[in-house]
Structure 1
Amino acid sequence: MIRLDSVTKGFRATAHSAPQMLLQNVSLTIPAGVSVGLLGSNGAGKSTLLDMIGGLVLPDRGRITQSGSVSWPMGFSGSLHGDMTGQQNTRFAARIYGVDSDALVDFVQGFAELGPHFNAPVRSYSAGMRARLAFGMSIGIPFDTYLVDEITAVGDTNFRQKSRSHLEARLERAGAIIVNHAAAELRNLCTAGMVLEGGTLTYFDQIDDAIAAYEAPIAA
């Protein structure tokens, strides 16, 4: 379960501009074990919300609490240490989350398809290589809730299909919050939905209701 209590978050485009409110006094509970599609227009704050739930960004006001383990946003490479190799970053994550480091290294090495670069410093990686490493690390750890931000778009067709298959396998035993602009993809992966617009976050028990609510203003 993830609970938002009176959460407010805004940002300023410039030092002198008025703040844009991404979330304004939002209180909402996301049930455990449910895959939830998160919809909203570009700039609405979807990625920022995932970052707050994942503990990467703090709310301006209010608090977010959770029961069970929550992944970092899949594909987020900002927490990778550039001077450490892919293998060293993987072992570090394994120690933090209390999983077998050799098993995680074996999984990530095969999954991320980095070849010899797996033992090279991450600062030498391309953005796509970093994303594949970060995704492999997160999908290789059994979290109770996964945070997914358009990650299935990373890599070529074969890698995207592999990522989707591994994610679907994890979701058989875990929940998720998934950002994706493709309604068909959300229908396949999610049972419930949320819409974030104008600082308001609304939860729907059915993903089709969330998609309809998101698309209604566009159709109008």
Structure 2
Amino acid sequence: MIQIQNLTKSFWVAGRRKVVIDNLSLTLPTGKSLALLGRNGAGKSTLLQIISGTMHPDSGQVLSDGTISWPVGLSSSFHRDLTGAENVRFVARIYGVDTDQLVAFVEEFAELGPSFNAPLRSYSSGMRSRLTFGASMGIKFDTYLVDEVTAVGDRSFKRKSQVLFKERMENASAIMVNHSMGAIRKFCNAGVVLDRGKALYFEDLDEAIALHEHILS
């Protein structure tokens, strides 16, 4: 279970304070794969980063009784001057998992070849996504945060990634941001709609999608 309590986050944009998350309180249940829906700029990626602990709110807090991944698909937590392998070792130490096992898993899964030992700054966006996705899937979290990525690469790699992700979801929860309703329906079974700094939880995914599409219309 993840509890969001009185959460507020704002940014300064063109000299003005823009509130993205406005005193938000919400309880997200365990065992659900949640679609996080909302228009562009609604604060979905911001909320994921706050839940993961990679971004601090202005006020409020997030409480959880389980482990939470960083937002898969966002490589901002990875250091651009370290190699892919060095980044994975760093992640392993932070999360207290076996370093050699995680490095071996990601090296095989991500299919980066010699680039696995090259600096992250030399990676394409797709290569970074493979690395971050592989590193996250290599650790058994209670909740996975997924930002726009469930698979990257060619058809074979996408199929392999989706199979692995579905395996992880058999014993974990997820919060997913994705603009593809097809991907949302494939991986999620409940939804949260974020709009104007507030959020509503829906046990019925179709109800969440219906509200989301109404907001966009």
Tell me the TM-score normalized by structure 2.
0.94
Runs of 4+ in 1 over 3 A off after TM superposition: none
What CA deviation, in whole Å up to 9, does each residue of 1:88-139 have, x standing for no partner? 2212211221222222112101111110111222222222212211111011
Contact 1:76 1:135 in 2 (8 A): no
Q: Which stretch shifts more, 118-127 or 172-181?
A: 118-127
Gaps of 5+ in 1: none
Who is 2:50 aligned against? 52
Alpha-carbon RMSD across the aligned residues, in angstroms, is: 1.5
What CA deviation, in whole Å up to 9, does each residue of 1:11-30 have, x standing for no partner? 2222x22x222211111100
1:29-48 superposed matches below 5 A:
29-48=27-46
Gaps of 5+ in 2: none
Match of 2:175, SS? strand
Distance across 1 between alignment mates of 2:74 and 2:27: 24
Distance across 2 between alignment mates of 1:115 and 1:44: 37
Among 69, 84, 87, which residue is 1:86 paired with? 84
Letter aligned with residue 11 of structure 1: F
Deviation, structure 1 residue 62: 1.1
Who is 1:189 aligned against? 187
What CA deviation, in whole Å up to 9, does each residue of 1:129-184 have, x standing for no partner? 12211111011100000000111363333322222221111000000000112222
1:1-220 superposed matches below 5 A:
1-14=1-14, 16-17=15-16, 19-152=17-150, 154-219=152-217
What CA deviation, in whole Å up to 9, does each residue of 1:173-209 have, x standing for no partner? 0000001122222122111100001111111111111
Contact 2:39 2:216 in 1 (8 A): no
Distance across 2 between alignment mates of 1:153 and 1:115: 18
Letter aligned with residue 40 of structure 2: N
Distance across 2 between alignment mates of 1:202 and 1:186: 17
